[in-house]
Copies of this chain bind each other. A is one copy, B any other.
């Protein structure tokens, strides 16, 4: 009868914990994915077997692609890490938007949020397709990030519809900004996919208009939401910190992107791109984002 499945939520949920435990760091990991085809990087000989065992319990490398340097292999691995993070984030966006759809106050919002949820699945498909093109295993790459938002979830339970909307707007915005910081460290094709996905997902988080109206209409609502926003950004930055610590590849991409950016602008000084720099950049973007809602960050 195509049930909304509300009751089904009591069914136990044996998520693949073994998989997650084996992925708390991204090394050691099979490194025989396709190396970075960027200028100067060696490309694999035709017919070179491409195997991605990320997410499996294999702890030893099956060997590197013929002709690839260890730098190429690491770059390829880092790239798959960022794509995996983005794909997993879209999967959780789907789940969040679907749950919001179920709880929407009226059918119009319910339909709109269902459409947004469907678009998150489409965006995820774009990222997974790129992972597959690069010789990665899409499912394993997503599984490698499974659970990274669980703690954040447990600590930020919205108590109103507006708080739920702001949670999506703030949380998604910070992940998008994080991907933007790292995107210049990618090859061109992957970069295009990431930027398209980030841009499209921002358009869908159109909660901004509704939040702006709610905040303008009621100063008490605005003040409560501003407080909630500060809580959300603190928790979100905690997730980013944990990611940077457990996934050195993401930090390498950010550094590579900043280096490329500095090289292209004569006279520009390359920033330090350490954790404090990343967090300050994300905080600045968050402040701008809250400002667009008329809320104090």
Closest B residue to A237 by CB, please name it: B1
Do A99 and B4 have beta carbons less than 8 Å apart? yes
A182: interface (CB < 8 Å): no
Which residues of A, 74-120, contact B by the 8 Å Cβ criterion? 89-108, 110-111, 114-115, 117-118
With A3-B171, A139-B107: A164-B92 Cβ-Cβ less than 8 Å: no
Do B168 and A2 have beta carbons less than 8 Å apart? yes
Q: How large is the interface on A (under 10, 10 to 19, 20 to 34, 35 or more residues)?
A: 35 or more
CB distance from A134 to the nearest CB of B (A): 18
Among A32-40, A149-157, A219-227, A248-256, the stretch that binds chain B is: A149-157
Among A10-18, A185-193, A287-295, the stretch that binds chain B is: A10-18
Complex CA gap A121/B115 in Å reads 6
Complex CA gap A110/B161 in Å reads 26
User: CB < 8 Å: which of B1, B6, B146 contacts A172?
Assistant: B1
Closest B residue to A119 by CB, please name it: B118
Closest B residue to A141 by CB, please name it: B107
What residues of B have a CB within 8 angstroms of the CB of A239 in the complex? 1
Complex CA gap A164/B108 in Å reads 28
Complex CA gap A12/B239 in Å reads 27
Do A3 and B168 have beta carbons less than 8 Å apart? yes
Complex CA gap A168/B11 in Å reads 15
What residues of B have a CB within 8 angstroms of the CB of A4 in the complex? 92, 95-96, 99, 149-150, 153
Do B6 and A153 have beta carbons less than 8 Å apart? yes
Do B92 and A156 have beta carbons less than 8 Å apart? no
Do B110 and A91 have beta carbons less than 8 Å apart? yes
CB distance from A24 to the nearest CB of B (A): 16
Complex CA gap A94/B94 in Å reads 11
What residues of B have a CB within 8 angstroms of the CB of A15 in the complex? 104-106
A27: interface (CB < 8 Å): no
A8: interface (CB < 8 Å): yes
Do A9 and B139 have beta carbons less than 8 Å apart? no
User: CB < 8 Å: which of B7, B13, B95, B160 contacts A98?
Assistant: B95
Which residues of A, 118-175, contact B by the 8 Å Cβ criterion? 118, 121-122, 124-125, 128, 138-139, 142-143, 146, 149-150, 152-154, 156-161, 164, 167-168, 170-172, 174-175
